[in-house]
């Protein structure tokens, strides 16, 4: 159930047309999860600043049941490289926030992922 969200002040027309599906595949592989569970949300045209500047910036959130924690440093590096390469946002212009969710706090099809 990984969910990847990015908020950015980049205009919508600067987001590559294939970005959603590229992120989906990237996150599935990165976390070792089925892509059929991955959700991607892109929020362009945000009124935002970072470090006292309105130069291109963003805020990334990655939610997952497991696959986070010990590997967050590695995930952070790979996500930063991916964002810089695909969106042109410098790596020092966004934070990545990791949220490791409890299985019972995520629902799908009227159930939760709790055993």
Catalytic residues: 2
Residue among 18, 31, 19, 17 at smallest CA distance from 58: 19
- Which stretches of the chain are assigned E, i.e. beta strand? 3-8, 39-43, 58-64, 94-100, 107-108, 111-112
* 37 within 8 A of 2, measured Cβ to Cβ: yes
- Residue 43: count of CB within 10 angstroms of its CB: 16
């Amino acid at each position: 159930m990984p969910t990847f969200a990015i908020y950015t002040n980049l205009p919508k027309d600067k987001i590559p047309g294939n970005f959603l599906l590229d992120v989906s595949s990237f996150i599935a592989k990165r976390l070792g999860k089925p892509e059929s569970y991955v959700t991607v949300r892109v929020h362009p045209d945000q009124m935002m600043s970072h470090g006292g500047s309105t130069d291109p910036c963003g805020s990334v959130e990655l939610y997952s049941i497991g696959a986070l924690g010990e590997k967050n440093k590695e995930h952070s590096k790979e996500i930063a490289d991916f964002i810089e390469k695909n969106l042109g946002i410098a790596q020092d212009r966004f934070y990545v926030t990791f949220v490791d969710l409890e299985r019972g706090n995520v629902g799908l099809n009227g159930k939760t992922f709790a055993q």
